Amino acid sequence: PTNGPVKVQWNTELTEGRLRLTNALGQVIRDMELPEGGTLETELPEANGMYFLELQSDGYREIRRIVKQ
């Protein structure tokens, strides 16, 4: 669980892709291109609850669950 910013790191070989943050209802909170450098720090919405962070790039897909308290 977290109550602050979330830091995301990925393999720097993934160059073109997307990061998508959704809430437990599947509503898209944030959708952005994968930034260069292999790391990103982002704030979650103010509401406590469960969120999902999805990373997609060249046939690769990973989803992580994030709980905000």
- pLDDT value at residue 67: 95
Please give the residue that has the higher pLDDT: either 15 or 40. Answer: 40
Quick one: which H or E segment has residue 48? Answer: none
- Token pair recorded at residue 47: 């509401």
- pLDDT value at residue 43: 86
Nearest to 53 by CA among 62, 45, 39: 62
User: Is-contact 45 6, C-beta < 8 A?
Assistant: no
- pLDDT value at residue 66: 94
What is the average pLDDT across 1-13? Answer: 83
Q: Kindly state the DSSP code that residue 35 receives in the 8-state scheme.
A: -
DSSP per residue over 1-28, as a string?
Answer: -BSS-EEEE--TT--S-EEEEEETT--E
User: Tens digits of per-residue pLDDT, 20-59?
Assistant: 999 999 999 999 998 777 888 888 888 999 999 999 988 8
